[in-house]
């Protein structure tokens, strides 16, 4: 039996959940989304994800007919309908059906759908031993062209970088901004550890303000770990004591080699392990319950 999908006010089987070929989300990537995780019968950081969705909609002038509270219930009910206590949720809002032109005014109503299913990006071995990544030629979008803080459906920038990672047989890629500073990975934020300090690129270098990123920073502060948002280069990565990536789907992933350089002793570091453990504990108690 297939999945049950929320689609524009109804719950339908996945075979019936179809967008128009004239939908501008399909034709032009004109839309937004959120990737959300459910753990242990709760939806982790759901309030923060919903907030970011509506912030993206505000910037793109997408009118969502549902209130944030109604959208929250859509997510919870989609999980219930699929009998999921743990899983990945993809919440999508497109500009909606229009014509073959670019004009968003030709799209009278947005399209909203929600998918809940399982996901596994990386093997357990990568979390235990760490991954090797590469820096790729494709630069992160500049904010003046397409602000990376908008979680839009236009992911070609990231996809180009992912393709280049695959050419190097790497599961993930580090992207620099137009000035050569480290920005983020294709679907994750990046952290380095140096002399007991946790460092991550600031928002202004051109990154998505990741919810997992912010959560890890909060967890670090609770441990008394100094957290600094500042620009850094590949050189700073190569000489770091630890490196790890964060994202909703990937969670916290240790990185042990970058561009052929082994990071420290080539094993996941103690701070990475501590913050990973804290993160996993938090997923047990944070967020609204799926079944009340």
Active site residues per annotation = 151
Least Cα distance to 75 among 90, 94, 95, 86 occurs for: 90
Task: Render 19-63 in DSSP notation, one character per residue.
Answer: --TTBHHHHH--EEEEEEEEETTEETTHHHHHHHHHHHHHHHT--
Q: Where are the beta strands (DSSP E) in the chain?
A: 4-7, 10-13, 31-39, 42-43, 87-94, 111-117, 131-135, 173-176, 182-185, 189-194, 197-200, 227-229, 242-247, 251-258, 261-262
Residues 6+ apart with CB under 8 A from 72: 46, 47, 50, 288
Residue owning tokens 């103690």: 270
Roughly how many angstroms between the first and final C-alpha of the chain, as a whole number?
26
Least Cα distance to 174 among 204, 215, 127, 140 occurs for: 140
∠ at Cα 137 (132, 141), nearest 5°? 105
Q: How many CB atoms lie within 10 A of CB 188?
A: 27
Q: How many Cα atoms occupy the beta-carbon half-sphere of 129 within 13 Å?
A: 7
Q: Do the strands 31-39 and 87-94 form a parallel or antiparallel pair, or are they unpaired?
A: antiparallel
């Amino acid at each position: 039996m297939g999945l049950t999908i929320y689609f524009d006010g109804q719950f339908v089987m996945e075979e019936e959940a179809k967008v128009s070929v004239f939908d501008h989300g399909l034709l032009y990537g004109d839309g937004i989304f959120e990737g959300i995780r459910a753990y242990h019968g709760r939806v982790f950081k759901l309030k923060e994800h919903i907030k970011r969705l509506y912030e993206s909609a505000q910037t793109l002038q997408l009118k969502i007919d549902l209130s944030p509270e109604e959208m929250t219930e859509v997510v919870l009910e989609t999980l219930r309908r699929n009998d999921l206590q743990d899983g990945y949720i993809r919440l999508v809002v497109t500009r909606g059906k229009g014509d073959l032109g670019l004009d968003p005014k030709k799209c009278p109503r947005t399209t909203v759908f929600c998918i809940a299913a399982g996901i596994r990006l990386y093997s357990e071995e990568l979390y235990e031993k760490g991954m090797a990544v590469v820096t790729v030629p494709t630069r992160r979008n500049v904010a003046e062209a397409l602000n990376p803080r908008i979680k839009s459906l236009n992911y070609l920038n990231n996809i180009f970088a992912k393709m280049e990672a695959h050419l190097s047989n790497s599961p993930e890629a580090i992207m620099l901004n137009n000035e050569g500073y480290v920005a983020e990975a294709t679907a994750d934020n990046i952290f380095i550890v140096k002399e007991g300090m946790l460092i991550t690129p600031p928002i202004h270098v051109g990154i998505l303000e990741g919810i997992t990123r912010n959560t890890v920073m909060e967890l670090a502060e609770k441990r008394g770990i100094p957290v600094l948002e500042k620009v850094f280069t590949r050189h700073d990565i190569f000489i770091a004591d630890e490196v790890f990536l964060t994202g909703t789907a990937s969670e916290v992933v240790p990185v042990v080699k970058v561009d052929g350089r082994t990071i420290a002793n080539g094993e996941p570091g103690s701070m990475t392990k501590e913050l990973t453990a804290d993160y996993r504990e938090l997923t047990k108690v944070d967020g609204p319950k799926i079944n009340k």
